[in-house]
Structure 1
Amino acid sequence: MKLESFEKTADQCVRHSNLISVCAYNGNKITATLQNSMLKSHEYIMTDHELVKSYFYKNNSVHLPLLTIAKETQLEEKLIATKHQLQSFIFQNLDPVVIIDKWDKVITVNAAFHSTFGFTAIEVLGLDASELPILPDDRKFEVILNRSFTVLGEKVKGYETIRKTKDGKVLQVHLSCFPLLDEKNELDGWAVIIRDITERKQAQELLIKSEKLSIAGELAAGIAHEIRNPITSVKGFLQLMQSSNFEKQIYYDIMSSEITRIEQILSELLMLAKPQAVHFARKDVMVLIRDVVTLLGPQATLNNVQIITDLKTELTQIMCEENQIKQVCINFIKNAIDAMPDGGNLTIQLISSKTQELIIRFIDEGNGIPDELISKLGQPFYTTKEKGTGLGFMVSKRIVENHQGTVNICSEVGKGTTIEVKLPN
């Protein structure tokens, strides 16, 4: 009993020091009762060769300090590895990265930030996120908006915006951000990744301009034919009036109407051909479609194609770049006309979806497109036309995607093709 009491006292003393005691006894010289008692009160026992766990131990609150230390060491090593990976991600990233703490102060920027925008880390560290010199004045609201998402633990998916360099140059960028959490899974700050897409956007603009000039050239024959008719009418009425001793108001009305039509067609052609600044504003898509139909009406007539408009919806205004949406409509209408070499009907529908999207459908009665070719549409220089470049569809798809919309194609060989454009309302 004295030996058992001594064991318990020794255990209590060393346990408070986060240690374990190991006592060695000759099993042949102590009683079985004492052995069982020690097996119940000691989590580990020492054999002649190793330290093993006691299967009779009842107090689960006692832990082996050596094992705890080992686990803590493993966790610390994992923490160091994770920290190293995060630093590598930040400083080796080819895109500018900005780390902002939970008080909205800039605490880290990488080398790509300096090479892209010209500002050194010394110039920006410690600044409030909204005071970053790369922010144009009219874009400061983005900081508040992005932070509101990260506070809720949400990522801000990439969106296109602008930032400025130290020398005043404006860059087109793709920006995304995400929250940074501490060991308690609480917000500890947020990271911003900025990708310079200026060259890519410039390349897209060149494609759009190239496609515009191509379209203008292709429409020239139809427009020349359409303008020749009213000019012939005006010329004939003028000759008739010169040889007549009296005036007829109807002649003036017809000439005025014909001249107005000429002006309308030429205005649309010039609007298409000349460079336009990208400016998003609320525009009525129904009006845009009617303008485009007026422009392409002559070409449709020359190809024995009748354009039917089915504009049912009342919600027709969207935020868009007017001339780019017109170009999308022109491209898809031209494709439909080309798909019907023997003539036919082209139906243009405008409806609203239940998800507040505006849907434009271009439905032709052409030869259709095989399923295996549909997936390839939109690739540069891939086309189903004998003399096409494939750029028209690609440019149109890019324009729609830049408006946060989508383009879908449904086609049946021998019956026709439907192109559906969805744009956010």
Structure 2
Amino acid sequence: MLRDHVQSYDPTFQHAALGMALISLNGTFLKVNPALCDLLGHPRHELHSIPSLDITYHDMLTVISEFGKSLESNHLTYGKFEQQVLHRAGRQLNMTIHLTIIYDEALFPSHYLVQFEDRTRLIETEGLLHSTEVILLDIQNSYYQLLEKMPLAVLITKKGIIQYVNPAALRLVHANDKSEVLGMSTDSVVDTSYHQALSDRRKNFVTHQSLRSISYMINALDGQQKFVEGFTLIINYEGEPAAVGVFKDITDQQQKEEYIMQSEKLNMAGQLAAGIAHEIRNPLTSINGFMKLMRSSKRSTESYFDIIESELKRIELIVNELLVLSKPQGNHISKPLNVLPILDQVITLMSVQAALKNIEITFLCPDTSLWIIGEMNQLKQVFINLLKNGMDAMGTSGIIHITADFSDLEVLIRVQDEGSGMTPEQIQKLGQPFFTTKETGTGLGFMITQNIIHNHGGSIQIESVPDHGTTFTVKLPRINEPEDL
């Protein structure tokens, strides 16, 4: 009767992908399929060497027999348990053993149908995954510990909403607890005067996948305003893309630079005063002459009024530009600017001093407007510094060429002089405080120029050949023309 039961499992038993065996109630193999031989590492010809398999797997068979008896005593026909089984090569296999009690026609237990599910790789993978999770958790904890102890302010944001701040960031915005900051929009922290710059920066990242360093003013929770400088990295945070911003407070540095800049402005205003006074004297002489002609002339003097008005406007323009240099500046507010009118105004102002030195200033620019985000007076300071440096290097004659150009991302302004030029060693040191190529100078002017350009998100390049002149190229991030202007 048992033989009939055994034969009834073919051919499904023989061709099953899962290791299977028929095992007697006493714990001996009755039949083994090829898949089980493969699983345990035995050649298939050993299918017919059942007694040798009984000896090899005696302990396992004993456990199976005892488990089957426990199922029967509990009136169950099926159960499973975990068991380690030794592979023929000597390694341990982690098995889930499924046991089904087979009954004969008289409903007495006849034998066991046992299936062997190899879970070794799954368990190894789970162990490896767990180890990896532990390592990642350690890394994450170390990462947070590093952020918590960093002296620089760190914010993690998603779509402009703050998700994490470290203690340094809390101190920066004068918050007592993270709950005061988490969930806030960065737009409520960054001063409104810099919102356009932030928006352009985000658009630039979407298009070009790059984020430049940035400087802007923030509003602390107590209303105090500060200048910060920092950079941003894009990471995965809690399964989603997020921006990590690292910032430092440069308010004191900004104030010191402002003081130095103001000193330079006053110094430059003094140097320009003589030339400007001379230039103002010329239209005043003309006005005085035409006034005398008007008194003595009996004919129409309408054309004299036009000339006098033109000369007065020129005086007003020169005086206003001089006042821009000398008056103290408050908090600088960046906004969209067309850089071409700024260059025109600077050239108008500097042409006075250039004429005294027999220097010509030429200006070549495109027909289209060139828009940037910036602060007008600071940019004037940059171009005045560059023009003045060029004139100082040239002596009493020559031409300074100013060229404005653009690419998709940048506005480029080149100031090329015909002066004495510089060596590579001098260019390397340029911008260091108190280094200068002039007989009288502090070297602070170019340092200020560099800082202003850097704060505008730009850069400055220098090309120079001794005795052949120098070219300064200022690059500033270009924006589209604002629609609301």
TM-based fold match above 0.5:
yes
Q: 1:112 aligns with which of 164, 168, 171?
A: 168
Q: Tell me the CA shift for residue 226 of structure 1.
A: 0.7
Q: After superposition, where does 1:13-412 map in structure 2 within 5 Å?
A: 20=84, 39-40=88-89, 42-43=90-91, 62=120, 75=132, 78-98=135-155, 106=163, 108-121=164-177, 123-124=179-180, 127-130=182-185, 134=189, 158-174=213-229, 176=232, 178-181=234-237, 186-187=239-240, 191-243=244-296, 248-277=301-330, 278-353=332-407, 355-412=408-465
Q: Tell me the CA shift for residue 241 of structure 1.
A: 3.7
Partner of 2:101: none
Query: 2-side partners of 1:142 and 1:316: how far apart?
Result: 16
Higher mean C-alpha displacement, 408-417 vs 164-173 = 164-173
**For residues 220 and 114 of structure 1, do their structure 2 counterparts lie closer, same or farther at Cα, with a shift above 3 Å needed?**
same
**For residues 403 and 73 of structure 1, do their structure 2 counterparts lie closer, same or farther at Cα, with a shift above 3 Å needed?**
closer
8 Å contact kept, 2:194–2:334? no
Q: Tell me the CA shift for residue 408 of structure 1.
A: 1.1
Higher mean C-alpha displacement, 115-124 vs 360-369 = 115-124
TM-score by length of 2: 0.67
1:333 is matched by which residue type in structure 2? Answer: L
- Alignment partner of 1:199: what SS? helix
Partner of 2:42: none
Alignment length (residue pairs): 387
Query: 2-side partners of 1:141 and 1:262: how far apart?
Result: 36
Q: CA RMSD in A?
A: 4.0
Over alpha carbons, which structure has the higher Rg? 2
- Alignment partner of 1:220: what SS? helix
Higher mean C-alpha displacement, 261-270 vs 67-76 = 67-76
- 1:249-294, CA deviations, whole angstroms, 9 ceiling, x for partnerless residues? 4433332222221111111111222234523333332222221111
**For residues 281 and 179 of structure 1, do their structure 2 counterparts lie closer, same or farther at Cα, with a shift above 3 Å needed?**
same
- Alignment partner of 1:129: what SS? coil
8 Å contact kept, 2:197–2:373? no
**For residues 141 and 82 of structure 1, do their structure 2 counterparts lie closer, same or farther at Cα, with a shift above 3 Å needed?**
farther
Partner of 1:32: none
Which blocks of at least 5 consecutive residues in structure 1 are unaligned?
Answer: 23-37, 46-58
8 Å contact kept, 1:160–1:173? yes
Query: 1-side partners of 2:352 and 2:197: how far apart?
Result: 46
8 Å contact kept, 1:97–1:191? yes
Which blocks of at least 5 consecutive residues in structure 2 are unaligned?
Answer: 1-49, 65-79, 94-116, 479-485
- Alignment partner of 1:407: what SS? strand
Query: 2-side partners of 1:172 and 1:285: how far apart?
Result: 24
8 Å contact kept, 1:234–1:255? yes
- Alignment partner of 1:339: what SS? helix
- Alignment partner of 2:185: what SS? helix
Q: Tell me the CA shift for residue 357 of structure 1.
A: 2.6
8 Å contact kept, 2:412–2:475? yes
Query: 2-side partners of 1:148 and 1:71: how far apart?
Result: 41
Query: 2-side partners of 1:250 and 1:141: how far apart?
Result: 48
Q: Tell me the CA shift for residue 197 of structure 1.
A: 2.2
8 Å contact kept, 2:359–2:398? yes
**For residues 171 and 365 of structure 1, do their structure 2 counterparts lie closer, same or farther at Cα, with a shift above 3 Å needed?**
same
Partner of 2:72: none
Query: 1-side partners of 2:356 and 2:205: how far apart?
Result: 57
8 Å contact kept, 2:219–2:225? yes
